[in-house]
């Protein structure tokens, strides 16, 4: 009889725990001790526990107390789980914030470094451009290969957002025994960039000459400082095509 009573007591206790757990899950809100007791009592109504002759009032009270204690333990466990999740999320956010800040600082340093290098490069270009020797208009000059070059005019035309520089020039082959390939012009800018003359060119035989015009167009935010004549096609990587700066041994005309 005693064993049967214990078995019934355990069965009822497990049932109470299950019913209370469901109630706790549905409710999800903290309550006072008296309210918890009242709630637990309501959950066991209709199960036969309150009228079971095998349970004394002390046993019922003990079961309710154990149930309330289990409910508090579950709440504490849920709170701890929430704290752990919040801590992990906070740690992740702090780590991402530090990483983002480090990346931004690195980008700012890179921009500052690039700006400094660009300013130093522009300063150097200004200095070197002042040291270059510029030629006058309508004066013939002989290039490296023997071509006689005369720049007649450099016309400046302002457009809405750009500036055009129209170069009028003449090339002559005044040699007696050489055929010479036409040379081309290149414009150099203060921002360490350059523009090359494009088109189709041919040889000039002794005594031949050709008169051309060519138009360079740049943005108004850009500033040129000279044009350079180049006819040394055997220069390779050292030729004008691969340079963004003029050299001292070429024919040059200043651009305002």
Whether pLDDT at 208 is above 90: yes
What's the rounded mean pLDDT across residues 157-178?
95
Task: State residue 111's pLDDT score.
Answer: 72
DSSP-derived 3-state class of residue 135: coil
Q: Round to whole Å and give the CA distance between 187 and 156.
A: 13
Of 66, 84, 102, the one marking the end of a domain is 84
pLDDT in tens, 81-92: 676 777 877 788
In a domain, 120, yes or no: no
Last residue of a domain, one of 69, 84, 99: 84
Is 102 a domain residue? no
**What letter would DSSP give residue 45?**
T
Statement to judge: residues 49 and 160 lie in one domain: no
Q: Quote the domain boundaries for residue 143.
A: 131-254
Instruction: Identify whether residues 55 and 161 lie together within a single domain.
Output: no
Q: Is the pLDDT of residue 230 over 80?
A: yes
Q: Is residue 109 part of a domain?
A: no
> How far is Cα 236 from Cα 238, in angstroms, rounded to an integer?
5
Q: Which residues contact 233 (CB under 8 A, 6 or more apart)?
A: 181, 239
Model confidence, pTM: 0.51
Please give the mean pLDDT across all residues of the chain.
76
* Residue 140 sits in the same domain as residue 52: no
Decide if 168 is inside a domain: yes
Position 38 in a domain: yes
pLDDT tens per residue across span 82-138: 767 778 777 888 888 888 888 887 777 777 766 655 555 555 555 555 578 899 999
CA dihedral (85, 90, 91, 94) in degrees, to 10, reads: 160
Residues 141, 215, single domain; the answer is yes
CATH (domain of 199): 2.60.40
Q: Is residue 173 part of a domain?
A: yes
Residue 163 has pLDDT above 50, yes or no: yes
* pLDDT confidence of residue 6: 45
Count structural domains, the chain: 2
Judged by average pLDDT, the poorest of 61-75, 128-142, 239-253 is 61-75
| Joined tokens for residue 146 | 């023997």
Nearest to 217 by CA among 197, 246, 239, 245: 197
């Amino acid at each position: 009889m005693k064993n049967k009573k214990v078995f019934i007591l355990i069965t009822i206790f497990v049932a109470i725990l299950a019913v209370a757990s469901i109630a706790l899950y549905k409710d999800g809100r903290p309550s006072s001790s008296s309210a918890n007791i009242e709630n637990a009592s309501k959950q066991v109504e209709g199960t036969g526990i309150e009228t079971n002759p095998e349970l004394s009032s002390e046993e019922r009270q003990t079961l309710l107390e154990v149930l309330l204690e289990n409910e508090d333990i579950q709440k504490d466990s849920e709170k701890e789980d929430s704290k752990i999740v919040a801590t992990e999320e906070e740690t992740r956010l702090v780590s991402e914030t530090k990483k983002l800040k480090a990346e931004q600082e690195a980008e700012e340093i890179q921009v500052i470094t690039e700006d400094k290098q660009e300013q130093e490069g522009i300063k150097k270009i200004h200095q070197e451009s002042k040291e270059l020797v510029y030629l006058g208009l309508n004066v013939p000059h002989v290039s490296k290969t023997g071509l006689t070059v005369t720049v007649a005019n450099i016309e400046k035309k302002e457009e809405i957002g750009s500036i055009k520089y129209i170069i009028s020039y003449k090339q002559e082959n005044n040699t007696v025994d050489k055929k010479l390939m036409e040379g081309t012009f290149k414009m150099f800018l203060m921002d360490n960039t350059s523009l090359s003359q494009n088109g189709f060119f041919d040889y000039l035989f002794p005594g031949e000459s050709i008169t051309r015009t060519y138009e360079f167009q740049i943005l108004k935010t850009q500033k040129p400082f000279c044009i350079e004549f180049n006819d040394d096609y055997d220069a390779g990587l050292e030729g004008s095509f691969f340079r963004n700066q003029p050299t001292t041994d070429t024919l040059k005309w200043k651009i305002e």
